[in-house]
Every structure is written in structure tokens, then in C-alpha cells.
Amino acid sequence: MPTTPPSISVTTEQLPKSQVGMTIEVPADAVDATYERVLNRLASRAKLEGFRPGRAPRTLVEARLGPAAIREEVVETIVPEVIRQALQEKSINPIDNPDVEVVELERGRPAKLKATVSVMPEVKLGDARALDVASPNVEVTDEMLERRLDVVREPMAEITPVEREARAGDMVVIDVEVEAGGKIVPSETRSAMEAELKEGILIPELMAALLGARVGETRSATVTFPEDYGEPMLAGKEGTIKATVQGIKEKVLPVLDDALASQLSGGKHETVDAYRASVREQLEDSAKSLAAIAREQALVKALVEASTVEVPDTLVERELASHLDSLNRSLNSQGLRLDRYLEYLGKTPEQWIAEERPEAEGHVKRDLVLDEFGRRERIEPSDEEVNAYIEKEAADDDELKGRADELKRDASSRRFFAARLRRLRVLERLAELAGDVKPAAT
């Protein structure tokens, strides 16, 4: 027969990090009733010499098991019942399993328990209409246009040896030797290596050293290598790169005339002016999209900063576990192991978690704020809107083509796309309230 819930007394207190503390008192008759139930259950299962199973006297079973073992059984029985009742009475919705301490529990006396439980935090949302976020500049300058025209012509460039000093944009042929701690690093030695003197391609320190050098000259650059550099002799250390110039080559771009403009545009533009105008328009469209994304990110950042929320450790730990799981799957797909990867980085799992924790907490806070904003604005896509969104995504994504019906039927997929669509609507509404007409979808 089902047991009647005991008449318990519950007091609560708000704790930091969105936790609630509960002090629960259970009357003595409820404690005794639980002892009786536990002893009856134990006696019915007991196998003692000289008695048939379940027929041994209860006093003998109790003496054989001992008070500590019986109390442990009582704790395992009464605690879940009492905690469930306390949460229900106080309308507390936990986001993790409560941490319970049994303060007092003896026969014939009231029991006292203390429990700590994490709950979803209260979000004090900032005023979206008051956010002060400047719109980024979307101007496309003549210099930007010329750089783009250089990039599209670069694959057609002629590379010609020259007898002069090395200049930005040149190709240089160099012999490289790297030294650290007074020792040559064999794995970094290179002969007749071609390198382009261009930002983002060559190490900045080495590029600066090679500019102005002539054939036969040796230039040196001191570099501090990153902690995760592949060569252990250099990882996190300072080294000296010595480069001897063996040759200098100049890149000569083809002249942009009407014929080349037609070729580069696939016949869409017959003149240089038309082609230049088309490229400028493409750059302006890209600049507007990037500006919209930048503004959207700035609005989210500003709203999060204007809002107040105590992030529960439980949610941060879930975020970290999810990140670690994603990293593990990614490494496994490459035939790598997580422990070896962390060893390669020179970090323990605890160090990795400590370093990632601030970012994880930031992600959780952002999600809590945006979810609360969506709730306040009553943003909840309908089933029809979710179906339409899934169909659009399946049509646009090669990996999802032909799977729209499958995705709509699968509960997990529907939750994913519904959450994604809701987030997009949240960002649109945030941009509207802050004065933007329509943000970029992210």
C-alpha cells in the first residue's frame, strides 16, 4: 500500500549562485514509521541459519544487521521521499540533484535534514531600448577596392627574378636556421625555402627583418613562440630565426584592361569601369553584412552587460562538459585521443577546465539573458513556422537535402531547429528595439 507523506516542516533561504537552502524537520512518528517499514522489508528478505527465508524474528534480524546498517537503509528510504515532498511544497524546480546532509535521525525523535539545491536564476533584464551601440562604418574606400582587384589578379601574376632589395609583396628564397637556448633546432632548418613578404603569411618579426635585404645577406629575428607550438624545443620559448637570402622575385600583376575585366567577370562586364563598379558593389554588400553581424554581437554584449544574473555553477559545469565532449568527438574523428591532446598542450584536465571556465560562464550568462528576453517578448515559433524553417534549412544545406520530413519527425531535431529559430527571432527583436531594421542571421 502507498504510504501517506509525512507532515514535514520546511524553511528555505536564498543562497549565492542561484541556490536555495532548505531545513527540513520530520516528526518522530514519521521517522518511527519509516524504521518499521525498513525493518519489515529487511526481515522479509533475511536469511538466518535455523529459520526459513523471511521467517526470522525481527529482533534477531535487527541484532544481526546492527543499528548503523539499519540507519543507512532508513536514510536511503526517507531522504528521497522527504526531499521530493519539500520541493513540491515550496514549488522549487531544481536543475540538479540536491546536496543533502542528515543532521539528526534517530528512533523516537524528530529528524532534521539540510539540503542545498540549484535553481534557474532570476534574470534582471536590461532595457533593450536604452542600449547605446554605434553602427559600424560600412564605407568601401578606393584602397580597399584596389586591394581586392590585386587579389583577384594575383593567380595570374608573373614571378620574375630581380636584382634589388626585398620589398613587400616579393617572393624571397631563403635558407632558414632556428636557434633556442644556444642550440640549433634541426626540425626547423630549411634550405631554399620560398616565402612571400606579405602580412598574414610570414611571421611579422621575420618579415620586418627581411625587408630591404639583398641576395647573400643574413637577417635575424627574435621570436617568442606560442605555448602550443608543435616543436617542444620552441613551445613557449624565445628563439632566434636566421634567414639568408638566396634570391628575390617580384610579382608582376597583369594590367586590368577591358579584356581581362571580361575574363574575370565571366563575360558579365565588358569594360574595366563596369567590372570595378561590380567589385565595389560586392565589397559594399560584404561590408554591410559584416557590419550587421558586428552590431548584432555588440547589442547582445551590451544587453548582457546591462543585465544582472547569478550564474549557477551547475549550468557552467554542464557547459564545460558539453565543450569537452565536443572536443573529444572532434579529436576522435581525427584519430586522436583527448588525454594525448591535453598532454601535448602540457595541461591536466583540471587546468583545461579552469582556463575554459570564464568563457563557459560567459556563454551561460548570454544564453540566460537572451532566453529571458525571448520570454518577456513572448517569442515562441509555432509548429508551422518550425516546419517551414526546417524545410528552408534542408533546401539550403547540402548535408540536409532530402531529409526535411525526417528532421520534422525526429523530436531531438525539432527541438534543435525550434531553439535555433527562436534565437534568430530573439536577435531580430533585439535589433528592432535598439533601432536596427533587420540584423544579420547568426
| Residue-range domain boundaries for the chain | 9-118, 123-155+264-295+302-307, 158-252, 296-301+308-433
Summarised one tens digit per residue, pLDDT across range 9-26 is 999 999 998 999 999 999
Cα–Cα distances (Å) from 409 to 77, 105, 398, 406, in that order, read 41, 51, 19, 5
pTM of structure: 0.70
Fold of the domain built from segment(s) 158-252: Chitinase A; domain 3 (3.10.50)
Domain 296-301+308-433 class in CATH: mainly alpha
Summarised one tens digit per residue, pLDDT across range 100-157 is 999 999 989 999 999 999 999 999 999 999 988 877 777 899 999 999 999 999 999 9
Report the C-alpha gap between 284 and 138 in whole angstroms: 7
Fold of the domain built from segment(s) 9-118: Alpha-Beta Plaits (3.30.70)
Report the C-alpha gap between 129 and 251 in whole angstroms: 52
Summarised one tens digit per residue, pLDDT across range 330-354 is 888 888 888 888 887 788 889 999 9
Band of residue 439 on the pLDDT scale cut at 50, 70, 90: very low
Summarised one tens digit per residue, pLDDT across range 177-200 is 999 888 898 888 899 999 999 888
Q: What is the mean pLDDT of residues 190-215?
A: 91
Q: Which of 436, 162, 118 is nearest to 297 (CA)?
A: 436
Report the C-alpha gap between 272 and 152 in whole angstroms: 14
Band of residue 388 on the pLDDT scale cut at 50, 70, 90: very high
pLDDT at 437: 43
Tell how far CA 208 is from the center of its chain.
Answer: 36
pLDDT at 336: 84
Cell numbers linked to 357: 571556465
- Is the alpha carbon torsion for 80, 81, 87, 88 positive or negative? positive
